[in-house]
Amino acid sequence: MMCQAMSVSPVTTRQLERYVSLIERALSRTLSPVKGSPPHLEEAMRYCVIGGGKRFRPLLCVGASEAVGGSPRQALSAACAIELIHTYSLVHDDLPAMDNADERRGRASCHRKFGQAMAILVGDALLTRAFELLSRNGVPNAMQIMRAIGEASGTAGLVGGQVLDLQCGMGNVECGMKQLEETARRKTGALITASVVAGGLAGRASSTALTRLRQFGQRLGLAFQLRDDVHDGDGLVKAVGRNAVERRVQTLIDQAQQTIAPLGQRAWALRELADWLATN
């Protein structure tokens, strides 16, 4: 579990473990076999989602709901939808036409285990299952949540970021600092921001609180991708060096923490997730 890698108090660790368990059970229900769906497809979808991943985005989502006075359960549908979309992006990103990765989350990537055609369909199925989940009765502010997640997942967000990344990799565009940071904001930052915003909407946040959550997500989302660049020695690290990127990450996390300070103790989960990112 993600919380096992955090330097937090035993009480906070137990609270985060309960959140992770809540999310895992909800994901398992979400991926229960659907009548009429091919069993092999359902098996592949569960393989890609269940039993792996840090659940960083869904944890942000349920934490944001609590931060504005809602309950974690109010945000569960949004949290699961976001994790399905995140996983679909990884399945497609691993394909030979993209990153050509043999492993994901410590085991064979989807296309290595089930074949390339099935991996494409698994990604499609996870994406559509996510929006089906959000359309069900009982999701607070469902239309606003769907719009926020849809925009973050589309051409101005995740998909657009992937295109910018591909263009940089193929040398089709000049990839200076501005371009690399914009890629990071879209490819990773947009969906992390949507995770926090969706949680706030599920918790029926005020407009002021929602603005704070959005700013928190934008800063944390960029910091998350830059931290990945540090681990991989890629992206902005190649352009400006490891130390400069490390300083940028810490500044972004500090700014994110300051943004949610007025939300008080209820934002404890968001603060712990930001602290975890600062030390990993």
- pLDDT tens, the chain, 280 aa long: 454 444 445 557 788 999 999 999 999 999 999 999 999 999 999 999 997 889 999 999 999 999 999 999 999 999 999 999 999 999 999 999 999 999 999 999 999 999 999 999 999 999 999 999 999 878 889 999 999 999 999 999 999 999 998 888 765 556 778 888 999 999 999 999 999 999 999 999 999 999 999 999 999 999 999 999 999 888 888 888 999 999 999 999 999 999 999 999 999 999 999 999 999 8
Question: pTM for this structure?
Answer: 0.93
Element (H, E) at 4: none
pLDDT of the residue at 248: 94
Please name each of the domains of the chain with its CATH number: 2-278 (1.10.600.10)
Q: Are 236 and 229 a contacting pair, CB within 8 Å?
A: yes
Distance (Å, whole) CA 228 – CA 107? 20
pLDDT of the residue at 92: 97
Q: Provide Rg for the chain, Cα atoms.
A: 18
Q: Are 130 and 195 a contacting pair, CB within 8 Å?
A: no
pLDDT of the residue at 167: 87
Q: Are 185 and 221 a contacting pair, CB within 8 Å?
A: yes
Distance (Å, whole) CA 138 – CA 73? 11
